[in-house]
């Protein structure tokens, strides 16, 4: 697989993200809490590495142009609806210039397929979808009722599916209107961004983040592309052929990176073991490999909670993934568990 590594931010992806976070007053608080759940000192990590986000978002907000329509798309307590919109525009860039010429039913089918694929990726289990069986309003309601989404998100999705082309044309107009605001925010932070790009390029070329590369390979896309992202600084997004890699991911003390102080990784692993749910997941995987929903059902966890636990365990290198018959199976990473025991012996005995 030859991965095409871009060295510039994706303007549409960044603008979408900036529009969303500019409506979230508690964005900083949420980011700190996420770092805490990961096992880090959230405030210290944010102050050391992520102060740029305040300048980036603040600069964009100064030049942002919005209207009442933007509220529908971006002012939301949950990320599910926004992520769907983000995926739709990222995977269908031609919509930015040619959506008017695409049939309403084709746009509707693409939205339904994307909802289905996002839920399948969250559960790491394929879901069959017969688009021909989802044509009427009642059939759409039945399809959405079978999803774990919140009721407010389902209502927004029904609104979108009712007149998909009209709503997406409005979204595209808002994004285009705010591309200059993104460009101003990018230029104001250009010096820091340019410092981070070479490290990101080397990380991808050397395949330092093994799990990210493995997920990309699992999609079997002929010409995969990866973009750096600042609006998702510690995150990664793996789509059908276009992927995004946070410019600060390499600052995290995760298992696939080489760090001068292995105590950071040891502490993260010990904090993971101190969580009962994560410990139960590891014990279950010791018995046999399992896919996401299988573990969630066994332990009585929601898909969202399961994904959070797995993200931490993957980052700590305590589990690994393998694809089999279209499903992503989690395995206990026995070599790294033995490494954990050896590290404890080195530090304590």
The number of beta carbons lying within 10 Å of the beta carbon of residue 143 is 18
Residue 260 binned pLDDT confidence (cut-offs 50, 70, 90): very low
Q: What is the mean pLDDT of the chain?
A: 87
Q: Would you say residue 257 has pLDDT above 60?
A: no
Helices (H), the chain: 11-21, 27-38, 42-49, 52-63, 68-74, 80-91, 95-98, 104-123, 137-145, 151-162, 164-188, 190-205, 210-218, 262-273, 276-287, 292-299, 303-315, 334-348
Q: Would you say residue 63 has pLDDT above 80?
A: yes
pTM for the model: 0.84
The number of beta carbons lying within 10 Å of the beta carbon of residue 49 is 15
Q: Would you say residue 303 has pLDDT above 80?
A: no
Q: What is the pLDDT of residue 118?
A: 76
Crossing angle for the helix pair 80-91 and 151-162, to the nearest 10 degrees: 40
Task: Give me the CATH topology for the region 262-348.
Answer: Arc Repressor Mutant, subunit A (1.10.10)
In sequence order, the 6+-apart residues with CB closer than 8 A to the CB of 74 are: 19, 20, 22, 23, 66, 82
Q: Would you say residue 129 has pLDDT above 90?
A: no
- Where in the chain are all domains bearing CATH 1.10.10.10? 262-348
Q: What is the pLDDT of residue 280?
A: 95
> What distance in Å separates the CA atoms of residue 79 and residue 21, rounded to the nearest whole number?
10
Q: What burial class does residue 71 get, using C-beta atoms within 10 Å of its C-beta: 0-12 exposed, 13-18 middle, 19+ buried?
A: exposed
**230, 56 Cβ separation under 8 angstroms:** yes
Encode pLDDT of 3-36 as tens digits.
899 999 999 999 999 999 999 888 899 899 888 8
**292, 309 Cβ separation under 8 angstroms:** no
Encode pLDDT of 206-254 as tens digits.
877 777 877 777 776 778 899 999 999 998 888 877 899 999 998 887 6
């Amino acid at each position: 697989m030859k991965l095409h590594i871009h060295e510039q931010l994706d303007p549409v992806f960044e603008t979408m993200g900036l529009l969303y976070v500019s409506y979230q007053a508690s964005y900083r608080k949420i980011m700190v809490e996420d770092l805490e759940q990961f096992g880090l000192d959230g405030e210290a990590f944010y102050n050391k590495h992520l102060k740029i986000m305040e300048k980036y978002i603040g600069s964009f907000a100064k030049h942002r142009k919005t209207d009442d329509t933007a509220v529908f798309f971006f002012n939301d307590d949950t990320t599910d609806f926004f992520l769907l919109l983000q995926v739709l525009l990222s995977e269908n860039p031609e919509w930015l210039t040619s959506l008017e010429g695409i049939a309403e039913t084709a746009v509707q089918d693409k939205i339904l397929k994307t909802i289905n694929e996002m839920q399948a990726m969250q559960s790491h289990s394929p879901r069959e979808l017969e688009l021909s069986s989802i044509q009427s309003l009642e059939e759409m309601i039945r399809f959405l009722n079978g999803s774990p989404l919140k009721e407010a998100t389902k209502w927004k999705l029904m609104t979108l599916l009712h007149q998909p082309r009209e709503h997406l044309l409005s979204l595209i107009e808002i994004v285009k209107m705010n591309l200059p605001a993104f460009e101003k925010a990018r230029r104001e932070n250009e010096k820091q961004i340019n410092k981070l790009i070479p490290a990101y390029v080397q990380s991808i070329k050397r395949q330092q983040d093994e799990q990210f590369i493995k997920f990309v390979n699992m999609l079997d896309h002929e010409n995969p592309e990866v973009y750096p992202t600042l609006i998702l600084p510690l995150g990664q997004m793996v789509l059908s052929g276009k992927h995004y890699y946070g410019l600060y991911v390499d600052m995290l003390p995760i298992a696939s990176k080489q760090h001068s102080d292995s105590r950071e990784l040891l502490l993260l692993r010990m904090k993971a073991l101190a969580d009962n749910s994560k410990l139960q997941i590891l014990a279950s995987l010791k018995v046999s490999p399992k896919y996401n929903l299988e573990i969630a059902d066994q332990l009585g966890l929601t898909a969202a909670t399961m994904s959070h636990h797995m993200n931490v365990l993957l980052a700590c290198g305590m589990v690994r993934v393998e694809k089999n018959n279209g499903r992503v199976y989690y395995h206990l990473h026995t070599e790294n568990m033995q490494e954990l025991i050896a590290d404890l012996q080195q530090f304590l005995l």
